[in-house]
Amino acid sequence: MPARTGQQYIDGLRAQEREVWLGGERVRDVTKHKGLAGGVRAIAQLYDMQHDPELRDVMTFASPATGEPVGRSFDMPATKEALETRSKMMLNWARATCGMMGRSPDFMNVTFAAWGAAADFFGEKRPEFADNMRRYVEYIREHDVTLTHALINLQRSRNPTGMFNLEEGTALEVKRETDAGIIVRGARILATLGPLSDEIAVYSPRLARHSEEHSPFAVNFSIPCSTKGLKFLCRDSFDLGRSHFDHPLGSRFEEMDCIVFFDDVLVPWERVFLLYDVERLNTTPHVTHSTAHSAHQGAAKNLAKCEFVLGLALLMTQTLGNAHLPHTEERIGELMLYTELMRSCMRAAEADAATDRWGVMCPAILPVESTRNLMMNCYPRMIEILQLLGSSSFLLTPSEKDFEGPLQPDIEQYLATDNTEARERVKLFRLAWDVAGNAFGSRQVLYERFFASDPLTRARAMAAVYPKGEVIERVREFLGRDGEP
Ligand X SMILES: Cc1cc2nc3c(=O)[nH]c(=O)nc-3n(C[C@H](O)[C@H](O)[C@H](O)COP(=O)(O)OP(=O)(O)OC[C@H]3O[C@@H](n4cnc5c(N)ncnc54)[C@H](O)[C@@H]3O)c2cc1C
Return residues touching ligand X (CB under 6 A): 103, 149-152, 155, 158-160, 163-165, 189-192, 257, 443, 446-447, 450-451, 453-454, 456
DSSP state of 288: S
CA atoms within a 13 Å half-sphere pointing along the CA-CB vector of 16:
23
Residue 190: asked if its preceding bond is cis (omega within 30°), the reply is yes
CA triple 73-77-81, angle to 5 deg: 105
> In terms of Cα–Cα distance, which of 445, 474, 382 is closest to 102?
445
Give the separation between CA 391 and CA 297, rounded to whole angstroms: 33
Minimum distance from residue 475 beta carbon to ligand X (Å): 30
Nearer to ligand X, 91 or 152 (CB): 152
Minimum distance from residue 437 beta carbon to ligand X (Å): 17
Nearer to ligand X, 257 or 277 (CB): 257
Residue pair 58/88 in contact (Cβ under 8 Å)? The answer is yes
Query: How far is the CA of 449 from the CAs of 51, 378, 385, in angstroms?
Result: 34, 9, 17
Nearer to ligand X, 35 or 390 (CB): 35
CA dihedral sign of residues 250, 255, 259, 260: positive
Minimum distance from residue 443 beta carbon to ligand X (Å): 6
CA dihedral sign of residues 299, 305, 307, 309: negative
Minimum distance from residue 130 beta carbon to ligand X (Å): 24
Nearer to ligand X, 90 or 353 (CB): 90
Nearer to ligand X, 222 or 317 (CB): 222
Minimum distance from residue 362 beta carbon to ligand X (Å): 22
DSSP state of 151: -
Nearer to ligand X, 284 or 319 (CB): 284
DSSP state of 3: S
Nearer to ligand X, 83 or 100 (CB): 100
Nearer to ligand X, 130 or 151 (CB): 151
24: left (phi over 0), alpha (psi -120 to 50) or beta: left
Residues 6+ apart with CB under 8 A from 462: 366, 369, 370, 373
Residue pair 371/301 in contact (Cβ under 8 Å)? The answer is no
Rounded to an integer, what is the distance from CA 484 to the centroid of its chain?
A: 52
Minimum distance from residue 190 beta carbon to ligand X (Å): 4
Give the separation between CA 315 and CA 420, rounded to whole angstroms: 11
Nearer to ligand X, 5 or 155 (CB): 155
Minimum distance from residue 119 beta carbon to ligand X (Å): 22
Report the b/e string of 425-457 with b at 16+ CB within 10 A: bbbbbbbbbbbbbbebbebbbebbeebbbeeeb
Nearer to ligand X, 253 or 447 (CB): 447
The dihedral over CA atoms of 368, 372, 378, 383, expressed in degrees to the nearest 10, equals 120
Minimum distance from residue 255 beta carbon to ligand X (Å): 9
Minimum distance from residue 236 beta carbon to ligand X (Å): 13
Minimum distance from residue 324 beta carbon to ligand X (Å): 37
> In terms of Cα–Cα distance, which of 205, 172, 204, 167 is closest to 187?
172
Give the separation between CA 100 and CA 185, rounded to whole angstroms: 32
Minimum distance from residue 447 beta carbon to ligand X (Å): 4
Nearer to ligand X, 30 or 70 (CB): 30
